[in-house]
Amino acid sequence: MQNKNILVTGGAGFLGSHLVHQLLERGNKVTILDDFTHGKELHLKGIFNNPNLKVIKGSITNSHDVEKAFENCQVVFHLAVLDLRQSIKEPEKVNDVVVNGTLNCLKAARDKKVELFVNCSSSEVFGTAQYVPMDEKHPLNPETPYAAAKVAQDVYTFSFGRTYGLPWVTVRPFNMYGPNSHWQGYRGELIPKMIVRAMNKQPLVIFGEGDQTRDFIYVEDAAKGIIDVARNKKCLNNHFNISTKKETSIKKIAETICKEFSLDPNVYIQKQAPRPGDVMRLFGDNSKFQQLTGYVPQTSIEEGIHKTIAWFKSLPYTPDELLNQEVLRSWE
């Protein structure tokens, strides 16, 4: 994956920005297609003026924007998405981006005869684990509108490979965290929201007893893993879990963050009623990924949380300003 013309949809977002950094470091020319609804120029700090980077402000739901972005493209990393929490409130809007937007990208990839379409899916397509660790053959049981849309995205990608001969690979990252993660509003993610609240000595909210488990992977590890899959021809036309093969409870995450800030978990961890559609267990089997690429994620959950806290402290916001963006109602 060097000296290629690469398109990253959603390249100014959380995972996308890390992927773009790593692709540029490998000597590629990278085009970003992002509408900056959730992506940020701040995520591209240090590379925004890179001569090998082109940024197109546009949407994958707009066929003209897609056609423009796909010009001279050899490899596509398709990451543009609206998230799970938004799907609960606005399922139609999320479906339009995830499903119809993906169709626009697949048609453009077919017409431009791209060398590879890397479809970035999600572990949410599996739903709550029926067995663990969850390998790529685990049944697809989406429990939210977001997850259902992602299943459709995956099936469309597969179908374009079968029908039109489009070379593809689908990656399913498990729960990513790290720098550039979202903490703002109802779309904020668990770890960054807890960090912001801990910085302000506010309660860290868990739902139910916090027994839900996730396979948390540091975002830089996930980005490297995705590139390793894309550059390996043995991975072509297949699905891969991007995970650590380690299981951590939500309660454990809260306790780890409390420890980083010297907060008493018995005081600062606040339990709320369980959420509807909450997946209780996600624990990925990454054996197939490791066997073909040889890559093993390196960052422990403790180290990753420490690095994420350092990133939050480096932002041009006071702790109060961070908390104001997080807002209490975002937990509802």
CATH classification at residue 23:
3.40.50.720
Structural domain of 203: 176-215+246-277+299-331
Residue 94 lies in a domain: yes
Q: Which candidate in 131, 146, 218, 268 is catalytic?
A: 146
Question: Which of 151, 283, 307, 290 has the alpha carbon at shortest distance from 225?
Answer: 290
Pick the closest to residue 10 from 113, 159, 122 (CA basis). 122
pLDDT tens over the chain, length 332 residues: 789 999 999 999 999 999 999 999 999 999 999 999 889 998 998 898 899 999 999 999 999 999 999 999 999 999 999 888 788 888 999 999 999 999 999 999 999 999 999 999 999 999 988 999 999 999 999 999 999 999 999 999 999 999 999 999 999 999 999 999 988 876 678 999 999 999 999 999 999 999 999 999 999 999 999 999 999 999 999 999 999 999 999 999 999 999 999 999 999 999 999 877 778 888 899 999 999 999 899 999 999 999 999 999 999 899 999 998 875 444 33
Residue 263: CATH number of its domain: 3.90.25.10
Q: What is the pLDDT of residue 158?
A: 98
Same domain, yes or no, for 119 and 252?
Answer: no
The alpha carbons of the chain give a radius of gyration, in whole angstroms, of 19
Question: Exposed, middle or buried by CB within 10 Å (0-12, 13-18, 19+), for 136?
Answer: middle
Instruction: Say whether 186 is catalytic.
Output: no
118 burial level (CB within 10 Å; 0-12, 13-18, 19+): buried
At residue 331, the pLDDT reads 37
Position 224 in a domain: yes
For residues 270 and 168, membership in a common domain is answered with: no
Do 116 and 191 belong to one domain? no
